[in-house]
Each structure stands twice: as structure tokens, then as C-alpha cells.
Amino acid sequence: MTATATTELATTAARVAASARDGEQVEAYVIRSRETEIKVFAGDVESLAVAEVAGIGIRIVADGRQGIAYAGSLDGDVIAATLADARDNASYGAIDPAYGLATPGDIDGRRPVPLDLWRDDVLATSTDAKVGLAIAADRAVLEADPRIRGVESTDYGDAALEMAMAASTGVTAEITRTSASVASSAMAGTHDDTQTGFGFDAGRGFGDLDVDHVAAMAAERATRLLGATQPATRRIPVLLDPMVSASVLALVGSALSGEAVLKGRSMFADRVGEEIAATTVTIVDDPTEAAAFGASPVDGEGIPTRPVTLVAEGRLLGFLQNLYTARRAGTDTTGSAVRSYASTPGVGARALHLRAGTRPPEALMASVPEALYVQSVSGLHSGTNPVSGDFSVGAEGLMVRDGQFAEPVRELTVASTLPRMMRDVVEVGADLTWLPGGTAGVTLLVAEMTMAGA
Amino acid sequence: MIETPVVEATLHHALAGGGDFADLFVEDRSSTSATYDDGKVEELRSGRSRGAGIRVVKGETTGFAHTTDLTGSGLVAAAEAAAAAARAGGAGTKVAPLSERPTPPRSVVTLPETVPKGHKVEMLARADEAARAASDAVSQVTASYADGRRRILVANSDGVLARDDQVRTRFAVTCVASGDTGLQTGSEAPGRTVGFEFFDDHPPEEIARVAAARAVTKLAARPAPTGKLPVVLRRGAGGVLFHEACGHGLEADLVGRDASVFRGRVGERVARPGVTLVDDGGLARDWGACVIDDEGALAQRNVLIDDGILTDYMWDLLRARRDGRASSGNGRRETYQHLPMVRMTNTYLAPGTEDPDEIIRQTPYGLYCVALGGGQVNTATGDFVFGITEAYMIEDGRLTEPVRGAQLIGNGPDALGAVDAVGTDFETWTGMCGKDGQSVPVSAGQPTLRVAELTVGGTAA
């Protein structure tokens, strides 16, 4: 069933690409996704949605100009109108010799790494069984600890995505990929002292989901914050929870994009070859790692992906590039074009991670007399600036003393600058975990940050 | 869009196997956006989508399906899928005869789709030129233009049939300034529910100069202090704070889930006298405006906090039905592919009686915020955090140095209770509000006001 469906998309993409006129390059990027979304509240299904979505993005490069148009439909008349829009849009674009679709020369004989990212059980499992899992997760969270007074909501979601692209230059690509996740937000304590904790599990297939893991995670994260107070302002060593370090790493990753460098929006521009972090820090983007949720054999322009080491033991080696940014920078693409059907290819990481250390989180906790353990942060995007590197975010978590969790804290901010934090990484834990969203998390010990509270 | 008999037949099919309520939402969207970067047009993009979402409610369960097939048979198939998802069974509710809800004509002067693309690009070039002319320190300028038209039809088994034609235009400029302290950015991004006449009130040069000044000011800014301070929020700057920190907690769905600190507090004093919070989808030109919401209810003015007393929450159709009351016109959805839920529209704190300059003069030491970035709130606890994008120190009742790199943190009900001065001026802020993965246009407004104490998380040692 899968193969047939993908062929149908590939045929649609090829037909659009074949409509290129003389002196014109045409690319079609076609997707179809079958999705289930279940929301459970108070032990029962609040909503259940079963949907199929499809869309096409058409990119034209002609006379050194580029234009794009997209549509949320694969009907023949809509595709024809979208192609006409893309041509019209290209005529208003600025001339830039760096525009151009991928050619077989850009692939240079490199073959995509075969990755098995499809699990039949996402489509084969009955909706009733999915509902059953979501309700079981909701109940498990509620029963995980007597202090849990309610569950804000429990959400199940899955998707089976097929993508086909074709360019008039002869480059084609296809991807099929499934995912499934279940997440729950627990509320612990009384109305005078409510704390919330997020728990989730995610995988390629339905069979990867573990309800007990969700419950234990949500309950632990909510209950251990009960009684949290605002700490006194001071400078202090900081331990970042894997979910927090993954978010911070994603911010660093945005400044390691060739697009950010090109547009003068990276704090790392002109620093290739220099030490930008402690020697404990090695940063790699590896979309060929099948365990990563963002794994993909090809990028958004049809170029095969590969592992890219961006920072090696603190030294900046280079940036992620797509074809356009590579041509502008006088280098080669790293297969890092990311896009949706509605956009032109940007540059981004798919499987960004810090090289794991050798010791478990407990050893990191025990290595300093006192530290702040940051369980979650808020305002990450408003409070950090990947251009200037300023970093100040709201946080909640626990104090750590003598290697043990001590009193919980809330209503505080932690601040530093991203470059300083990277130089201050004392140790990376051994607990590398792939998380949805293109990054992996790991426990991280940062020498010192400003904790602002009372 | 779709003939009324087809609409009726679809609703009949949705409830044929049981079910208490059904609705059909049809949406036809088109958009154009253009980006100008590094002194040239980077991208001109157009998009279109058209589809229908069908919802069937049975007891506490909602079944939902959507389709791009707007033929009679395509809609019936989606209606049956939604009914199956709702596990509807037994005797159903009858569909009431449809009667079209009269809506006022749209007041758009110039539909953006009638404006040549070249004119749109010209606005970007004008902004780029003005931003670069504003200061030698401006090293990068990105300008973007976006227009969107959204035509909707809503019909439900209560007999409601309503249409709306929503046109929005937005223009954004981001500048990077370089100096001895490195790179700093500044942005300005107004948007209105209007057509191309948007530029009559917001010339691109004016937007560009605000963004450039913001970036350049930050070059001279020192790191913000850390600790608890009185904070004066300039008109317009703090609307987003009250949207996040109070507005979300007043959404009936979150209240119903026991995930709001305002649950069970209607009739109580939650702020000092003089503090009035309103949500009004009917503010015709504002970014969050609509004639009808996405469930067919007429947009209206809802007073949420009246002179310090909590008077009501915001409601969508489902939560209102369960409580035996009318929707407040706050049922919104991102697209036909999403289920509606309770959302804000244009939310604002009403102007008070104090002279804005006097509020600063009567603050011996504090922070004056001119622009906030995004923020986040945990509605269950009320804790919030906001990035500050332009701010100055207040010393001896006067504005002194600019500061940067800070977050405001606090607790929604506490901050609201700590508002101790409300000015006579007013301005709104334009933004996109995210909730449960859906993003909708909203505005948030407020007069210049002072919060007696908020925690400022700066980067100064």
C-alpha cells in the first residue's frame, strides 16, 4: 500500500517537473500525511480526529530569479494554478546567480544511507486500540502518585508521512516516515500549591509507546516541585535537564546554520577554526542516525544527508549548508536543506547532538557542593538572542546539595550568554536521549550562571 | 462557496447515526508574502488552500474529520467519518432548518489580491532604504510583507448559517545594528484586519525607523539589573503580558479542566479598582478581529474584569452549551483542519485616569519597558515569563540608560493585583497566539501602567 501511494506522489511530482520550459528549472515537492489525534480528558475521549492532508510546493528558477507557490490540494486544476503563480512570482524576484535546483553534479555520486523509518503498525492499529492506549496513559498518570490531583490533558498523535520530490534537472527523492507519541501533563498538589509535570513517550511506531514511562515521568516532574519557593539571587553552578539542554542546543544550532551566517545573524560568523566552547563540547548533526526523530536519507533539495561535525572538542569546524548558502559561501552543501511543502529550502539541523560523556547524571550532581537543577525553562525564544548571544530564561527546578536533590524552586530566571555557557560546560553526561524536534538531550553541568529570584 | 442544500444534507448525514450536535466549517484561503533581505527581494510566495472540517458531538466526545473534497459526496464521506469518530449511536438530534445569520459587509477598501505584486515589493524596498538611512550602525535589514484572505462558511445543527470574509495585512521590519558591543536586533511588526489601505496608517518608512531605532538603542544598552523592581509598561508594550498572564486563565476550556488559577473566582476582586480587562472581537480593524467567530457566533465585546472584579470567562460553543449559556464569540480555529477552542481576539486593559508621564515621575527607581518580546505562561500555576526587547532604567522619576537582555517573570494574578497606576493613553500590539499547536491572530492593548513589583531577570552580575 505504501509503495503504491508513494509512486502516485512521485508521478505527480515528475509530471510537474516535466512542465519546465526552455531556460527554466521546475521543482515539485509533494507530501501526503495520514494522521490520528486523540485528546483524553477526565478519563474519556474529548476529541478524536482522523485526517489525511496533502500539499504541493512548486519552485521555479528562471533567468537567475526564484519564485515559489504552494497549495493544500493535489487536484489537477489547483496544481496548474500553483505552477502559474510560481512562474509569476519568479518574475518579481531579484537576480541571484546562486539560485538553482539540485543537479546530479551536486549529488556527486553520493548515495542516500538506507534508513527504515516506517512502521506498519501506525496505519494498521485500530483507532479503538489507539484510544485505549491514550485512556490508559491518562489513568496511569492519575494513579502514579496520591499527590496527583488531576491531569490537564493526555494527547495521542501519530502520522504516516510520504514525500516525493522531482526537479527538472533530473534529481528525484522519496521519503516515507511514521511517528507516534503520547504525552500527558500532570497537576500535583492543592489549589494553593499547584505544580505541573510533563511526561511523554515517542517513537517511530505504535508499539514503541510505553504508558508507564509517561506516567512515571509526569508524576515525578510534578510532585518533586511541590512546595517550591523563590530562591535568593546569586551566581551558581547549573545542571540542565536533558529536555532543557536539547532546547539550548537547538538555539546554538540555529547560529551554526550557513543561512544565519550569510545574513549576518550568527554570533559564530568568521570564527571557523577558533575555540568557541570548552573541550568537553563536540556538536554533531547526523540525520543518518535512525534513532533520531529527524532522521532522513535525503534533505529538502534531494541531496543525500551525512553526519556533519560542527564543533570538535570546542573548535568550530564549519556550518550547516544548503545549495544556495553553500554557493554564496563558496563551499559545498552539507545536505542540510530543511523545508515544508509551503516554503523554499532553509538550512537546519535534523539530528543535532552533543557527544555524550562517560558519567551518569548522578555523578555530575555530586561533582559540585551546590547547584541549581533546571527541570524546565520558559520564554526560551523571547529571552535568548542567537545574534547577540544574550540568554535569560524563566526556570523551575530543584536545588542540588551534596549530590542529592534538595528543595524545589520556581519563579526564577537563569541568565548568561550562549558563548559564555558554551565555554562554561564542565561536563556532559552519559545519558544522551533523542527527543522529538531534531535534537538530543543530555544532562549538562555549566560552571556558573546568574540565578535571579527574590 | 457551497449550496445551502448541500450544507443541509451534510449535517443530516453527520447526525444520521445519533449524535447531539454537528457543525460544518468551510474555509477558502489565499495568501501572498514577500521577503526583502540584504537589499533585494529574497522570496515572493503565494499559497492557497480550501477544505471543510466536520464535527460531531456525542456526550463529552467530539469526532472530527476534514477533507479537501467539497463535492456533496466528499462532504458526506467526511461527515460519516466524524460521526464514527464520535462513536455516535442511538437516536440523534434533528438538524434545525438553516437560517442565514445576517453579517455586516466587510469594510476592506483595497483587496490585496487586486494590488499588483510590484507595489507590494516597492513597500519592502522603501522600508529597506529608510532603515539603512536611519543610522550608519544598521548593518542588516529584513522586511516582510504578508496579506491573507480567509472566506469561511459555518453551519450547524442548531440552524445557524453564517459567512465571513476576513482580510489581513501585516508588515514587519527587523534590523541588525553592529557596534562595539556586538550585534543587536530590533523589530517592529504591525498588522491589521484591513486590506492594502493598511499602508495609509502605517507607512513602511515609519515601521522601519522604529525597528532601526530599537536595534541601535540596544547597542548602547547595558545589561539589565536583576531582582524585584517596580515596572512601568509603556502603552501597548504590556498588552501581551496580560494576554498571557491573565487572558489564558480566563478561557473557559482551561477553567473547565481545573487548569486555571482563576477557576471559581467569578465575582471576586482580582485587581485594584480602575483595572478593567476586555476581549472584543468586534474591534473592526484590529488584528484579532472577525465579524463571526469560527463557530458562527457574532464577535462581541466581553468585559472579563470590571473595575477589579472578575465578571466572566471567555466561551466557545461547546463549553457554553454544557453550561447552558451563549457563546461569547471566542470559538476560533487555525484552519479547517483544526477543531475550534476558546481563544482570545483583541484583549485589552482599558485606559485609566493617570497622566502617563506622571506615572514615571512618581517612580523613584524601576524599569520602563517600551517593547516586550514573546512570552509564556503556565495557566495552571499562573507563572509567566516575558522577554524585554526595549527598556530603560527609571531613576529619580526620570528615564536614564537603556538596558537589554532581560526577562520579566512573575505570577499572573499577583501581577494583576499589583497594578497600582493606570494611564490615560492606549496602544495595541499585534501577534500570533499559540495554544495546543494552533496559531491565531490576536491583538493585545493597554495604557501606560505600573506594576508595583516584578522580578527582572537580567544578565548583569
Q: Tell me which chain B residue has its CA closest to the CA of residue A198.
A: B378
**What average pLDDT does the segment A371-378 reach?**
96
Query: pLDDT above 70 covers what percent of chain B?
Result: 98
Q: How many angstroms separate the CA atoms of B149 and B189, rounded? A: 19
d(CA B35, CA A92): 11
Q: Would you say residue B180 lies in a domain?
A: no
SS3 category, A350: coil
Cβ separation B65–A50 shorter than 8 A: yes
| Residue B200 burial (CB count, 10 A) | 10
Which domains are present in chain A?
Answer: 2-222 (3.30.2290.10), 223-248+357-452 (no CATH)
Closest CA to B203 of B106, B290, B123, B299: B123
Q: H/E element holding B101?
A: none
> Of B54, B74, B100, which closes a domain?
B100
Q: What would the pLDDT profile of A100-152 be if each residue is shown by its tens digit?
A: 999 999 998 999 999 999 999 999 999 999 999 999 999 999 999 999 999 99
CB contact under 8 Å between A69 and B458, yes or no, is: no
* pLDDT range class, residue A3, cuts 50, 70, 90: very low
Final residue in a domain of this structure, among B100, B117, B139? B100
What pLDDT was estimated at residue A4? Answer: 52
What DSSP state is assigned to residue A305? Answer: P
pTM for the structure as a whole: 0.88
Out of A47, A127, A390, name the one closest to residue B405 (CB): A390
Which range has the worst mean pLDDT, A245-249, B15-19, B101-105, B229-233? B101-105
Q: Does the residue B143 lie in any domain? A: no
Q: Which three cell numbers stand for residue A197?
A: 509535570
Q: Do residues A39 and A46 lie in contact, with contact meaning Cβ atoms separated by under 8 Å? A: yes
Interface A–B counts its CB contacts (< 8 A) at 244
Checking if the pLDDT of A24 tops 80, the result is yes
CA quadruple B432, B435, B437, B440: dihedral sign = negative
Q: Are A412 and B455 inside 8 Å of each other by CB?
A: yes
Measured between beta carbons, the chain A residues lying within 8 angstroms of B146 are none
How far apart are the C-alpha atoms of B433 and B440, rounded to whole Å?
5
Domain-embedded: residue B319? yes
Residue A85 CA to residue B31 CA, distance in Å, equals 11
Q: Is residue B209 part of a domain?
A: no
- Which pLDDT score, from 0 to 100, does residue A2 have? 46
Question: For the residues of A64-130, what is the DSSP string, one character each?
Answer: TEEEEEEES---HHHHHHHHHHHHHHHTTSPP-TT-----HHHHTT--PPP-----THHHHS-HHHH
Long-range own/partner contacts, residues B94-98 (CB < 8 A, 24 or more apart): B94/B15, B94/B157, B95/B8, B95/B11, B95/B12, B95/B15, B95/B22, B95/B157, B95/B159, B96/B157, B96/B158, B96/B159, B97/B159, B98/B4, B98/B7, B98/B8, B98/B155, B98/B159, B98/B160, B98/B161
> Do the chains contact at B405 and A47, CB–CB below 8 Å?
no
Q: Which residue has the higher pLDDT, A72 or B99?
A: A72
Q: Are residues B90 and B231 in the same domain?
A: no
* Range with lowest mean pLDDT among A350-359, A421-430, B176-185: B176-185
Interface probe, candidates B30, B120, B243, B459, chain A, greatest A C-beta count within 10 A: B459
User: DSSP class of residue B42?
Assistant: E
Whether residue B140 lies inside any domain: the answer is no
Rounded to two decimals, the ipTM of the complex is 0.84
Q: Among A67, A388, A391, select the one facing B183 at the smallest CB separation.
A: A388
Count of the separate structural domains present in chain B = 2
Residue B249 inside a domain? The answer is yes
What is the distance between the alpha carbons of residues B59 and A291, in angstroms, rounded to a whole number? 41
Are B254 and B400 part of one and the same domain?
A: yes
CA distance B415 to B146: 35
CB B262, CB B287: distance < 8 Å: no
Q: Is residue B231 part of a domain?
A: yes
* Pick from A110, A39, A314, A62: nearest CA to B438: A39
Residue range B257-284: mean pLDDT, rounded: 92
Confidence of residue B255 (pLDDT cuts 50, 70, 90): very high
Three-state SS at A11 = helix
pLDDT digits (tens, 9 = 90+) for B420-451: 999 999 999 999 999 988 999 999 999 999 99
Which chain B residue has its CA at the smallest distance from A74's CA?
Answer: B68
> Cell numbers of A30, please?
509533494
Which of B81, B100, B119 represents a domain boundary (last residue)? B100
Contact between A255 and A347 under an 8 Å Cβ cutoff? The reply is: no
The SS3 call for residue B254 is helix
Using an 8 Å Cβ cutoff, are A118 and A176 in contact? yes
Q: Which residues in chain A have Cβ-Cβ distances shorter than 8 Å to B48? A: 70-73, 78, 81-82
Of B41, B409, B411, the CB nearest to A413: B409
- B335, closest residue in chain A (CA to CA): A72
Instruction: Please name which of A320, A207, A309, A211 lies closest in space to residue A256, comparing C-alpha atoms.
Output: A320
Residue B348: helix, strand or coil by DSSP?
strand
CA A111 to chain B, closest CA, distance in angstroms equals 31
SS3 B118: helix
Strands annotated E in A189-278: 195-203, 234-240
Contacts of A54 in chain B (CB under 8 A): 68
**pLDDT for position A332:** 96
Domain span including residue B411: 227-457
Question: Which of B128, B170, B133, B174 has the alpha carbon at shortest distance from B149?
Answer: B170
Query: For residue A270, what is the enclosing H or E element?
Result: none
Residues of chain A contacting residue B211, judged by C-beta atoms under 8 Å apart: none
Q: Do B85 and A48 touch (CB under 8 A)?
A: yes
- Is B49 close to A415, i.e. CB distance below 8 A? no
- CA B200 to CA B30: how far, in whole Å? 23
SS3 B217: helix
List the one residue out of B31, B66, B34 whose CA is nearest residue B150: B31
Closest residue, chain A, to B38 (C-alpha) = A263
Q: How many angstroms separate the CA of residue B249 from the nearest CA in chain A?
A: 13
Per-residue model confidence (pLDDT) at position A381: 76
| Strands (E) located in A287-430 | 308-312, 315-316, 337-338, 346-347, 352-354, 370-378, 390-401, 404-417, 425-428
Q: What is the mean pLDDT of residues B95-99?
A: 86
By 3-state DSSP, what share of chain A in percent is helix, strand and coil, each rounded to 5?
25, 40, 35
| Contact yes or no for B329/B312 (Cβ under 8 A) | no
Residue B394 resides in a domain: yes
Whether residue B373 is found in the same domain as residue B238: yes
Q: What is the pLDDT of residue A1?
A: 41
Residue of B271, B231, B222 whose CA lies nearest to B410: B231
